Amino acid sequence: MKRKDFIKRSLSGLVLPAFFNGISLRTLAGAPMMHALRRYWNDDRVLVLLQFAGGNDGINTVIPADQYASYLAARANIALPEEKLLKLKGYDKTALHPSMTDMQNLFEQGKLGIIQAVSYPKPNFSHFRATDIWMTGSDSNVSMNTGWAGRLLDEWYPGFPDNYPSTSMPDPLGIQVGSVISSTFQGPAFIMGLAISNPNSFYNLIEGKMDVSGDTRWGEQLNYIKEMSVKTDQYADVIKKAALKVTKQSDKYPAAGKNALADQLKIVARLIGGGLKTKVYMVNIGGFDTHSKQTEDADKTTGNHANLLKKVSEAIGAFMDDLAILQVQDKVMGMTFSEFGRRIKSNASGGTDHGAAAPLFYFGHKVKGGIFGDNPQIPASATVNDNVPMQHDFRSVYSSILQHWFGMQASDVATVLPGNFPDLAIA
């Protein structure tokens, strides 16, 4: 096998094992930042991606309160009580799920926004394929072997894997917490991020309870793997040093182990607060494939979906509070995404089936809050085939973040996102 082909396969996560016991630093990237592209991007800003795996039910998340009668008729077995909906100040036609009080507060402070009906033309309803589309930024009829963040980081830090870590960029370019590295970070030739697969092991690492060398290597006979092992150790060191700089964090986080998303975001906040220059972080929470028993019969404000949204809201609320405590609040923007939404009409099992468009949240202390788009129209007599139609292409969100958050020129966005997409002034 040619070295180049071996490297590509290794960095795709198919060959490389966990380097540490319980903590997987799958791949890594870094190269000198002093190149032409630095002239236009803001190197002090960070993006945090929150994945809702499974396909979130947008209609029970961001409720079209101005169409409550049609909403109730379409999903009587899971409809939220009108009097329990969380109203949004200045937007009385729209409401949030009763579990999302922290996010309601952030919205009213102008630190959280909603983009209605996000999808793409000819949506795919397969979990795997739809997720791939969101992570790569492709059209639904096109397969891409690179992720949108991977292409972005490859543009900003060309020349991987040589000459890294460097003086100007000693840190990982991207970090995913709570999972193996996703295709979002796949660059043209190499994955441009690393994965911390177990939050508990992160604390073992920084507390010195884990040996990051020793006999945990695999494939020592392969020179490239040995080289990457050394680089991974170097990144483990900088991660540990950054984490140890932070001694106090927000007390709004739930107790460890009670909210996996909050546990992940707490690590992200700690690393940002500790000074890592990492540009893109990714965290995730699963369980949104709510085909049945989405709510409790006795109280529709409780149940599986309510529990998930409560965890999301608490986690984002604590994270935003933590950023302020750590005095890094102005440099961080977050964005949620899910592979698709759900159908307008609920099913007979008290759940919802795979659908098209759904709302997306973005947040940060420096974003422009509010609601982009209109409430989806609920038919008076909805059928099982009715979908929420797209108002905004998800790549418009990506493009807007690149321009308004990171400061890329519109003409350069095409190097990351093929095609032209309408701009949303969200930051």
Which domains, from first to last, does the chain contain? 3-413 (3.40.720)
For the residues 301-328, what does the mean pLDDT come to? 98
pLDDT at 159: 78
Number of residues in the chain = 427
**Is pLDDT at 13 greater than 60 in this prediction?**
no
pLDDT at 236: 87
Note whether 351 and 290 are within 8 A (CB).
yes
Tokens of 68: 């409550």
Q: Confidence band (pLDDT; 50, 70, 90) for 226? A: low
* Mean pLDDT, the chain, whole residue set: 87
**Is pLDDT at 26 greater than 80 in this prediction?**
no
Of the listed ranges 6-20, 111-125, 131-145, the one predicted with least confidence:
6-20
pLDDT at 197: 78
pLDDT at 205: 81
Of the listed ranges 89-93, 101-105, 191-195, 374-378, the one predicted with least confidence:
191-195
pTM recorded for the entire structure:
0.90
Q: For residue range 372-401, what is the model confidence (pLDDT) as tens digits?
A: 999 999 999 999 999 999 999 999 999 999
**Is pLDDT at 267 greater than 90 in this prediction?**
yes
pLDDT at 43: 72
For helices 304-325 and 260-273, the axis angle rounded to 10 degrees is 20
**Is pLDDT at 17 greater than 70 in this prediction?**
no
What gap in Å lies between CA 334 and CA 420, rounded to an integer? 23
